Amino acid sequence: MKFELELENKDKDTQLITCDIFAYWFDLGLDSIGQPETTHWNVFHKHDALERLYKVIPLLNDKVNEWNTIAEKYKTADVPLSSILGHTVMSNGQAFCTIENKLDKFKPLEAWYKLDAGKIDHRWGLIVHQDIINPMQTQCILVYRVLNDQGYIDNVKKLVDIFNTLKVLRDITTTITQETNLQNFGLKFNEDFHLLDDEWAERFSMERNPGEIFLYPTQIGYDYDNVMIEMYDDDKHNAIKMTSNSFDLLEQQVCYTGELLFWCGDPRTHEEALDHLNYSLMDYWGGYKIKKTDTRNKYDMLTWGMIKVGSFDVVPEPEFNTVRNYKIIEQDNTTEQEEELIDVVR
């Protein structure tokens, strides 16, 4: 299926991108809505990365404060975390539903940046990852599990939004500290959940190229990118994107929705990312073994990465951040016999 996205900026100027979804077997609901919803827009000029960071912080702060007001009504003080998480390293203490807001720690960092002639060194990234994003994202994952266990799911979408905004904040931080472009944007065409078929469990890949479209991750947990450390020349300031006791919070994608991720960042091969991951696990984490596996996967291997489903022709300029029009220009005309033949080949 091919479709066009007409994007517009604040001046109502437009930019057209053409998308081609080759993975017709996924039920993405592309023809069931009038216009997709923009779930996040993390596209910016690299020299504006710090400015982008300071725009996301107040938005995230408002979301966290709103959530904590909602979460105060949930009564979980008498519920031990171990009854929800099992006996893991994260299961000490009582269940909780609020998130400790650590975003005020950006204020001294901002002052430090101004005093240090507008320079950001490796210590800056270390503090942002370990003192701000890591604890807040870990709390998000734990709260999500507590809510689902206790049946408090009426406002869970707000928590998911906070978790995804923290992921955006982490991507911007990595862009600033490592000169690595992790830009992307997300569009939601349908929010119905579908299990991934067994034969697609081994199609996860860590390869990414600008102009590629992926199934958006649905898990609320750390993924393989969080295991891969940021490596600097001075290894004492290497920034870790999670803590060792958070390995219990690694999650795998076993289902998908009609939400798609459009990759606009730097290219990398699967082998390059795998080398980085193995170095992080063996040399930095001391050979830490991740034992979680996708039990539906007949190869009994971890589903690292994302599944590519299509491509788009033009990476949009950052200011064209609103979908003005959406039009399907070519339906999938695969016959039933052709589908059977494709299944046999696969």
Note the pLDDT tens digit of each residue in 183-238.
999 999 988 999 887 777 667 888 999 999 999 988 888 887 888 888 777 677 77
314-336 average pLDDT score:
84
114-138 average pLDDT score:
82
DSSP 87: S
Whether 4 has a pLDDT exceeding 70, the answer reads yes
Which of 61-75, 255-269, 294-308, 311-325 is least confident?
Answer: 294-308
pLDDT at 11: 95
End-to-end C-alpha distance for the chain, whole angstroms: 20
248-267 average pLDDT score:
90
Pick from 15-19, 81-85, 333-337 the range whose average pLDDT is largest. 15-19
pLDDT at 300: 42
Pair 302, 252: CB distance under 8 Å: yes
Pairing, β 212-215 against β 259-263: antiparallel
Pair 259, 188: CB distance under 8 Å: yes
Q: Which two tokens stand for residue 124?
A: 């800056």
pLDDT at 257: 92
pLDDT at 142: 93
Interatomic CA distance for residues 8 and 17, integer angstroms: 11
Pick from 73-87, 109-123, 273-287, 305-319 the range whose average pLDDT is largest. 305-319
Q: Which two tokens stand for residue 240?
A: 């870790």
334 falls in which pLDDT band (50, 70, 90)? low
pLDDT at 116: 66
Alpha carbon 221 to its chain's center: 9
pLDDT at 298: 45
17-34 average pLDDT score:
88
144-168 average pLDDT score:
93
Q: Which two tokens stand for residue 14?
A: 């437009």
343 falls in which pLDDT band (50, 70, 90)? low
152-167 average pLDDT score:
93
% residues pLDDT > 90 (the chain): 49
Pair 150, 95: CB distance under 8 Å: yes
333 falls in which pLDDT band (50, 70, 90)? low
